[in-house]
Amino acid sequence: MYEGDIASVLLTEDEIQARVKELAVEIASRYPVGSPQGDLLLVGVLKGAIFFMTDLSRALPIPTQMEFMAVSSYGSSTSSSGVVRILKDLDKDIAGRNVLIVEDIIDSGLTLSWLMRNLSSRDPASLQVVTLLRKPDAVRTDVEVSMIGFDIPNEFVVGYGLDYAERYRDLPYIGTLDPKVYEGDGGM
């Protein structure tokens, strides 16, 4: 698939799956079963977090429920501006629930910072974040990320949900793109 487009593999399928299982153990230890807040509510951020969300939820040894939100942050396809628009909101009220945001990647942290403020205002019992990937710039944000899968270098990555112009999400691993893919499309 995508012959010649991937310059290097950063995280193999096995590495990702092993880390997802570790994160599931960590998450389960933080949320006791049978709490008055009910089942843990996973809030997946579309579309990048879909594979992480489905793998994580199945690896978790505690009951969870799922909600999805889609947001678009204005900016180019490779960086965000922090100005966020809701494309798809949650279907259910999260007041009084234990909410865990499931994110694909934190780069500037602007998207997540906005999302935290937005979801906090809906009065959840608790609000934490798990992200599969974190880039170096994320240290500059005010957002406290509870759990992180991998710290990665400041490179644009695709695969396991992450896209470039909607392509490559279906790769089971995470890799960097060959520069020839960007060439000639003006930063799109």
Active site residues: 107
- In whole angstroms, give the CA distance from residue 11 to residue 20: 12
Name the residues that contact Mg ion, by CB under 5 A.
45, 48, 103-104, 163
Residue 6 near residue 155, CB atoms below 8 Å: no
Q: Confirm or reject binding of residue 156 to ligand 5GP (CB under 6 A).
A: yes
The sheet carrying 64-73 orders its strands as 84-88, 64-73, 40-46, 98-106, 126-134, 147-151
- Site residues for ligand 5GP, 85-104, by CB under 6 A, read 104
Q: How far is the CB of 15 from ligand 5GP (least distance, A)?
A: 17
Selected from 53, 162, 171, 181, the binder of ligand 5GP by CB under 6 A is 162
Q: Confirm or reject binding of residue 71 to ligand 5GP (CB under 6 A).
A: no
Tokens of 83: 């100005």
Which C-beta is closer to ligand 5GP: that of 11 or that of 157?
A: 157
Does residue 43 sit in helix, strand or coil?
Answer: strand
What phi and psi, each to the nearest 5 degrees, are found at residue 155?
-130, 155
Q: Confirm or reject binding of residue 69 to ligand 5GP (CB under 6 A).
A: no
Q: Confirm or reject binding of residue 163 to ligand 5GP (CB under 6 A).
A: yes
Tokens of 52: 């992480």
Contact set with ligand 5GP (CB under 6 A):
48, 73, 80, 104-112, 156-158, 162-164
